[in-house]
Amino acid sequence: MNSNRHRDFKLDIWGVVLLLPLAAIPFLTVNTFLNSLTYQGAIGVSAALAVYITLRMGLLSFTVPAFMAIGGYASAMLAKGGTTDLLLLMGLSFVVPALFAIPLGALVLRLKGVYFIIVTFLFNEILQLVIFETPTLTGGSDGIAGVPPATLFGKDLGSPTMLIVVTVAVCLIAALITLTVTQRFRAEFTSIDENETLAESLGVAVWKYRTIGFVASAGVSGLAGFALVNMLSTAHPSSFASWSINNYIAYAFVGGRGSMLGIVVGSALLIVMTNIFSGYADLSGGMFGLLLLIVMMAAPGGIVGTLVKLATNRKTRTEPQVKPVHWRKA
């Protein structure tokens, strides 16, 4: 058990470490494609991490785009009001969705299986309707345009290079929050995922830990929403469409939903391939679907999960077998 926990912790740490080089890319190259991949990857990983947190408890939540919208619009309104401090914007984009998640969680976390999925998906649709029907607050179908870039200690962070650096920094903070929550409550989350009824009978407060994970997932989603709004300088409903959750879930399952390294690997692979496939116009959707099919058939546990399983099986086969000692009577 301890060896598995140590292995999982190392995989999570590697997931965080692999994000660090992203901050250097805009300083090393002016290639538009690479810079675009960098900020897409940082935002995609942040959103996929929100999916990962709830998956650790066996919950497939579809609320990520909605919480991204709440965090993104909250930060856009604050920035338009004249407060552009990066730390305040990040704090607001995390706290506001987390607060929304508390009453919502009290309602939906009682549901299980397909009912939970349907209700969380409907929450996205309802929020989209609210955005469109409140133009005085959210700008309606036009969104909130001209959002000023974040600043830090009075320094403007609106240059193309700094926008990418800020996006990566937000991703790293989201990763550290995810690491802290999933490792701190690893035992409780795992027991709920494996057998909720047994965990409850053993005294695990399932509702409590589900709420903690759901609220943390909402806050991480909000950070991803802020990163997207800050990068685009606008908060628009199309940026938080309900269908975008399909991508974030795919990142988690293709890379391996059991570790943060899997989230990073899955996000990187699918984002790069999506950009490559986009050059084939009408064929892009089919090619993306075919890629998902191939990867999921070849690696049902995700790329990282399957590689870890193969390595574990190989280690087991190569370990010397200890023969039992038979004592002979005198």
Q: 41 to each of 33, 237, 303, how far by Cα in Å?
A: 12, 20, 17
Q: What is the pLDDT of residue 315?
A: 73
Confidence of residue 6 (pLDDT cuts 50, 70, 90): confident
Q: Model confidence over 138-179: pLDDT tens digits?
A: 999 999 999 999 999 889 999 999 999 999 999 999 999 999
For range 84-98, the mean pLDDT: 97
Residue 236, φ and ψ in degrees, nearest 5 = -125, 145
CB 73 within 8 A of CB 53: no
Say whether pLDDT at 328 is over 60. Answer: no
Summarize pLDDT for 210-258 with one digit per residue, the tens.
999 999 999 999 999 999 999 999 999 999 999 999 999 999 999 998 8
Q: Which two tokens stand for residue 203?
A: 């005294």
Tokens coding 169? 């920094």
The percent of residues above 90 in pLDDT, for the chain, comes to: 72
Please give the structure tokens belonging to residue 161: 């290079």
CA 206 to chain centre: 22
Give the residue-averaged pLDDT of 115-132. 94
Per-residue pLDDT at 281: 73
Q: Using alpha carbons, select from 252, 247, 184, 259 the residue that is nearest to residue 15.
A: 259
Helices in 18-109 by DSSP H: which ranges? 25-28, 32-55, 64-80, 86-108
Q: Are 111 and 54 in contact (CB under 8 A)?
A: no
Residue 112: predicted pLDDT: 84
In which band, very low, low, confident or very high, does the pLDDT at 1 lie, cut at 50, 70 and 90?
A: low
- The pLDDT value recorded for residue 99 is 97
Kindly give, in sequence order, each residue whose CB lies less than 8 Å from that of residue 328, ignoring residues fewer than 6 positions away: none
Residue-wise pLDDT for 275-320, tens only, equals 988 877 777 778 888 888 888 888 888 999 899 888 878 877 776 6
Give the H/E segment covering residue 234: strand 234-235
How much is the pLDDT for 330?
Answer: 46
Residue showing tokens 């408890």: 57
- Residues 29 and 155: beta-carbon distance below 8 Å: no
pLDDT at 296: 85
Residue 265 has pLDDT above 90, yes or no: yes
β-bridge pairing 144-145 and 155-156:
unpaired
> For 266-269, which contacts have Cβ atoms below 8 Å and span 24 or more sequence positions?
266/48, 266/302, 266/303, 266/304, 267/41, 267/44, 267/45, 267/48, 268/41, 269/295, 269/303
As a whole number, the mean pLDDT across the chain is: 91
Q: How far apart are CA 25 and CA 258, in angstroms?
A: 28
CA distance linking residue 217 with residue 105, whole number of Å: 11
What digits encode the pLDDT tens for the residues 21-75? Answer: 999 999 998 899 999 999 999 999 999 999 999 999 999 999 999 999 999 999 9
Q: Indicate the pTM of the whole model.
A: 0.92
Calculate what percentage of the chain has a pLDDT beyond 70: 95
- The CATH topology of domain 2-318 is ABC transporter involved in vitamin B12 uptake, BtuC (1.10.3470)
